[in-house]
Amino acid sequence: MTFFSSPEARFPPLSDDGQLDVVQFLLASRQVVKFIDTLGTTFKLVKSDVNGNVEKLQQKYDSDRERFHYFEAMLQDETTNNNTDLAKVGGLWLKRALEFVYTFLKNMVEEYRKGTPQESLQPHLKKAYDDTLHKYHNFITQKLFSIVSVTAPSWSSLMIILSMGTDVKEEQIIDDLELYLESMASNLSVLSNLYVQYKLDSNNKV
C-alpha cells in the first residue's frame, strides 16, 4: 500500500445524481492535510490553514448531520438563511487549496510519464501555485509562498515518504497517484460548479 492508495485518502465517488458526500469528502481532505505535513515544517502555516477550513466544514456538518449529508445542502442553507459562512468561505478556500495540491501532484505525474522527473519539486510547486492560488493572494502572501516552496523535499525523498516505509516501486506509487487524482478531480469539478452556481466565487485577494 502507498500513501495515496489507502481507503481514507481516496475522494468519494459521487451519488447517482452527482452529489458529494460530506463525511467521505472531509475524511479525504484530512489525508491531504497529512500529505502537506510531509512537505516539511515550513509548510506548517499551509497545513494549519487547510485544516482550519476542513474544521469549518466539519462544524457546519455537525450542526445538522442528517440534513447536511451532501455538500450542496450546506451551501443552500447558508445562501437562503445567511446564518453562517462556514461552507461558503471555508469550503471555498478548501477547494482552492485542493486545486493547488491536485495541480502539483498532476504535474509530478506528467513529468514522470515523460521520463524526465527532476529532483527538485520547487518548479512543480511554483507552477501549481501560479495556476491556482496566486491570483487570490496579496503580494506578501505570494512572497511567503516563494520562500516556503524552496524547502520542499526532493523527488526521491517524497517517493520514500509516499511508499510508507515499504519497498514498493516508484511506478506503483505513480499508478496509485493517478487513480487518486481521478477521484479528486471528480470532487473538485462538483465543488467548482457549486460555487459558480451559488455565485460564491470571486477573484478578491487576501
- 39 in any annotated domain: yes
Give the span between the Cα atoms of 92 and 201, in whole angstroms.
7
What's the domain count of the chain?
Answer: 1
Give the span between the Cα atoms of 76 and 22, in whole angstroms.
14
pLDDT value at residue 42: 84
Residue 132 burial (CB count, 10 A): 18
Give the span between the Cα atoms of 18 and 70, in whole angstroms.
10
Q: What is the DSSP string of 166-200?
A: S---HHHHHHHHHHHHHHHHHHHHHHHHHHHHTT-
pLDDT value at residue 77: 97
Give the span between the Cα atoms of 62 and 69, in whole angstroms.
10
Residue 149, domain extent: 3-197
- 206 in any annotated domain: no
- 42 in any annotated domain: yes
- 128 in any annotated domain: yes
pLDDT value at residue 20: 98
- 30 in any annotated domain: yes
- 202 in any annotated domain: no
- 205 in any annotated domain: no
pLDDT value at residue 128: 95
Count how many residues are written for the chain: 206
- Domain CATH number, residue 159: 1.10.3520.10
Q: And the C-alpha cell for 106?
A: 498532476
pLDDT value at residue 151: 87
Q: And the C-alpha cell for 34?
A: 497529512
Q: Are the C-beta atoms of residues 194 and 76 closer than 8 Å to each other? A: no
Q: For residue 95, what are the CA distances in angstroms to 87, 90, 112, 141, 187?
A: 11, 9, 26, 18, 9
Residue 109 burial (CB count, 10 A): 17
pLDDT tens-place values along the chain, 206 residues long: 899 998 889 999 999 999 999 999 999 999 999 999 988 888 888 999 999 999 999 999 999 999 999 999 999 999 999 999 999 999 999 999 999 999 999 999 999 999 988 999 999 999 999 999 999 998 888 888 888 888 889 999 999 999 998 999 999 999 999 999 999 999 999 999 999 999 999 877 77
pLDDT value at residue 66: 97
Q: And the C-alpha cell for 175?
A: 499508478
